[in-house]
Structure 1
């Protein structure tokens, strides 16, 4: 009887271990679809706001089991666009945003966001703009459906932490209606697909 009980416990242990290692520890890399992904921005000033987007230059999202363990996203600063203006006014603003007053696109053509953790629908990571890195955190939603991963999230950041001081009331006085608010929004909309040969069990 004792021998039978021992065998039963052993069988249960083996079965449990088998289920635990089946899929729960899989590691998958999802490559960002640069055509289906965008980073939208909104900048506000005293008299209104401007909106636009920039393209992703590539990146990966790392998933273990069903949990996001990290990500590395590259943003093409040279692709910055304005969506609330047309013609000459749009061209002027795009040129200004690419200048050293704002994002220094020629000197720093790529911005980067590295996710260090994703828990309870909250993303924490390091955002690098103009070669300057600061930690940011914001709510986000990530969905994994087979080989496809989608993610959305909006961060509100203080641009002056990345040396974007143009029109800031913190650094310039008597701006009046020309003052630009320090905080602006960045909204990520990502789509990524699983890489072949990147899935493995622990």
Structure 2
């Protein structure tokens, strides 16, 4: 009995030590927020709008030269249109920040955390991540390419999963040409 307990203790110690040092080679590289961009594009029946939103903080994790993780915080208070000017830009920016869309007063940040990274090619990866917008978290899938100290990714987001319902035909009837499509695009160019 003593020998069994002793063997279990040794196995537990070895397992603990292995787990404790398993990620020793992972290097977290901070994203240079001032030289990285996130561009959004939303679509409606009568056209589209696009703009930017700033990265508050972010990092990509590497095991050697292989991408293994990532985490980003987005400053939703910076969301704004780049395809409009003057009064129309002010109106759209204000509307995007309102509770009709992203409610930035209550939810000033969004978050993206990689949960699975699978190599697809030499510089290409398939990523599954948890995206949190307006306090709601849902999985998203996208591809990311890494070249040197740069990375690019594009993803589609279904805004209705995050309680962004304004103008959505999924929730409102008879919108006709006022309808806004549920999915919007995000395109990122990262430097680290």
Which whole-Å CA distance do the structure 1 matches of 2:26 and 2:97 have between them?
38
Tell me which residue corresponds to 2:141: 137
Which whole-Å CA distance do the structure 1 matches of 2:136 and 2:189 have between them?
23
For structure 2, the 5+ residue unaligned runs are 1-23
Q: TM-score, normalised by structure 2?
A: 0.83
* More relative contact order, 1 or 2 (CA 8 Å, 6+ apart): 1
Tell me which residue corresponds to 1:41: 40
Which whole-Å CA distance do the structure 2 matches of 1:73 and 1:168 have between them?
27
Q: Does 1:128 align with 2:132?
A: yes
Q: TM-score, normalised by structure 1?
A: 0.79
Which whole-Å CA distance do the structure 1 matches of 2:189 and 2:112 have between them?
13
For structure 1, the 5+ residue unaligned runs are 1-24, 193-202
Aligned-pair CA distance for 1:123: 1.4
Which whole-Å CA distance do the structure 2 matches of 1:46 and 1:117 have between them?
35
Aligned-pair CA distance for 1:187: 1.0
Tell me which residue corresponds to 2:7: none
Which whole-Å CA distance do the structure 2 matches of 1:100 and 1:134 have between them?
20
Tell me which residue corresponds to 2:101: 102
Tell me which residue corresponds to 1:157: 157
Q: Which has the larger radius of gyration?
A: 1
